[in-house]
Every structure is written in C-alpha cells, then in structure tokens.
Amino acid sequence: MLDLGETPQKIAVCLGIDAATVYRHLENYQTNGRDKFLEGNYVGYWGKLSSFQIVELRKQLKEYL
C-alpha cells in the first residue's frame, strides 16, 4: 500500500492497527530486506486467557454466533 502511495495513517485505519505499527514494519523491511521480513518468525500474542477459559469461550461462540 505504501508503494501505491497510501500514507501510513490510512494504511493503519484500513488494517485496524496503529500507525506506529505500520512504521515499525516498514523499518523492519527496510533494515532487514524482503527475505528476512518474510521469514515468518512472528509469534502472536495469545492473550491472558487460561486454556480452560479458551475452551469455555469457544463453547460460547459456537452457541451464540
């Protein structure tokens, strides 16, 4: 999107993230290059729910959604 001329602020709004995140990913890409950027070493945040709470949440979501 940056290559298409979009601003980091607009990209952030479109993706539902903070503009600082766009800038951080851009810096990472520019610093490390495409191959390193695409390695996929990202580890997602699992949140603060316990395994039991996740099971219960899944039950609720299946029942009500």
Selected residue with higher pLDDT from 38 and 55: 55
Residues 4-54: tens digit of each pLDDT: 999 999 999 999 999 999 999 999 899 999 888 888 777 777 788 899 999
pLDDT for the residue 44: 72
Q: Is 49 helix (H, G, I), strand (E, B) or coil?
A: coil
Tell me the C-alpha to C-alpha distance, in Å, between residue 25 and each of 22, 29, 37, 65: 5, 6, 9, 34
A 10 A CB-CB count for 15 gives 11
Give the Cα separation of 39 and 42 in Å (integer): 8
